[in-house]
Structure 1
């Protein structure tokens, strides 16, 4: 990544633009500049040049710049505006501080039409304006809104066409027995051949995998196996240590049979790769197998029998609660609930739940195990004792336009009556007319005094919901308590003989429920 450095000439230009901006009236619209690049290289449009162009654009629109949101090395296709590190903070938390969002070109702002439409709806809801310097886009007009949708559609089509060309190349490459790109599954490596790069067996890694296979057949747990290979100094695929998760992902990959596989589109991490078949209906063979079909199938059965623990039960019921809240007193790692199931002689089973540090299966920190119900109960009691009487408060967005308009009307009326009551004025005639004008002036002044100047601005307001957290958690249960404690940054650190509930000083502010406009509409 390149360093962004302003030249002397650019700094002089920036200072000149700021001086011109300082001459704008106090009530000038407030502009937020949005600057984004997917990849920062010498060939890309300079972020500094974008900012200077946008500052000139703001001056042309009569806007004062109140902030610059620089999101560099951020993809507009993958990350919508409200989730970007800088721009997202302005949109979600600082909306009252600006009136317009200015950007260089539309593709610097969004790439997906759905993201664009949602931003347009947000701007309508919050009375904001979107405008681009290099595109005919300005949401102040219906024409500008139409143009922004059309241009976004064209950008999306261009991105889709690029994706189609790449996918076509990949589809062809997958039908051959050559290795095109990427990192092969553990057990294989690549080498250059006469007809390109080929997949070949890595002898040492193959021996490691067959040793693991033998250990599974002997009934060894994944935890024990990873401990042994780590002590033996066998490097994991990423160069780090072995864990049950990364070892399982390798052992469940059909690529160990020497055939080509592909990850399904939008596949989740737990999904197994899919086998690719050739025109003859057979799997595309890339290299000799590390495991034959019979051996691979047996490994899958052994893994299923071996898997007795995890964060979720067989029916998807979540076991571990308060992740990110309940921490180990020795190393401050998360505490997970683990259930051991033992078969009894009479055919029944017995469950032994325990709460242990996440380091237990990797490099144990020495912390003891605890009874989950006891810890969760102690946390709930402590949270209710410390926070139970706090009121549940929601943050809402309030517009100041109505009060601002009323203030302007009152000030104009007051000026009218003051001018009329001045010597020589239309109301300075004594008698009933002058008395009525004076009374009207007093009423107008009294009403003006009742309007808080802050209410003439866009702002966040905080509204109590009329319930305490004790009532809130009593109605919505443990899951809601977990969400609230996480939002507030509250932790419950568990030691061998006691536990501490750590509450930030600004806990009331952290507990405020902030409406997520975009999450509700996606």
Structure 2
């Protein structure tokens, strides 16, 4: 083992649940090992991958991947809770191990006691990695073995009911999943709120305030058990939305189960949300992840407004006047670092009012447009998967892995099915790309804006790519510039007529702030 190592902790979870503590447990185990007297190391960073399959190559994982290239010089030991947190693929594991050997790194599984810097550790690690891959294959094979019967009967043979469904006994045995009307309606409410620029955090606060039991507590109440009083959290909301079961797709330990033709196995004839709609919504929600904060901002434009002089973000803070009056300001974040020669600062109420007028007056009568295209992304993902399946099937066929008549018959059946799917998806993508990229929501900007609070307005501003810049001009006055670049694209795509000069600027005196802010168009 390297003396006093710099430890990189890797945390992975296939899917978040509303009461899981697995990421915290993994972190605690790694920290306990790293700081112990036998190691005397220090954790220099965390590579966290939540909602990430164990089948994904570690080099490609969003959290861990960058630590192998641009940040490779920052750590000595890669520590994981168990080896399957690193990968469930023996081939992937071998590549990571080879890379670590080449670059003088070590891999340690802290709960399994495996230190791959030792010969014995290397041997055990390879054996466990092979078992992990075998377990993944067994899971898939076991789930597939009864897929035909499940599809034919719509029978659920899993464990606890997934969110929004309850069991309904069948006359010929087995249990079918049907919608739980109360929580199905709650799911639709959550979806509509997320579409309306609510954050998951704000939704969780509201559900807790209303005393709505979480899904797990609801199941306990139905069974006559005492609820645990678990609170809703933003992670619980996101986990529910991101889980394919709400779209009627069968999963096992975070992996989507597919049938022998590579199609998703269904768990119900009446899902909470149709798969195509769910895929499009999740794609849009993932693109919003940098926008939607885990906790609410203290202001509408904190971290959104930009200092025009240095390009830095502006945060909200307060300043107490000598007469005891308190004013809140947006100030350039670089003012304390000395990297901005002319840091911008403006009273919060004045900038908020300026943006209000930009939206209400300049954009007010225009229709709010939504980008169409997330469904194309989903279709492209499915196309890539089907093409990869075809490549694998053909490679196995050329290698002579199909020997019996039954195997060859199944090969041609799968090949025909996937070939037809590839053709269908290519046609769908071609049609979708030729269709308009924008659609009207039926609401104007003024109507949307009036219905939102500060936190929702913040999300709305970022979702639509608005830029709010505050700068000092040559005459020493402050100038607020509001822009919405996506309007240019909308006009080109749809021919929408907008007022001339939608870029709006407002000069504000450096020393005296007008009681009423006017507006001009340029």
Q: TM-score per shorter chain, which class?
A: 0.3 to 0.5
Question: With structure 1 as the length reference, what TM-score do the two structures score?
Answer: 0.33
> Which structure would you say has the larger RCO, counting Cα contacts within 8 Å and 6 or more residues apart?
2
Q: Which has the larger radius of gyration?
A: 1
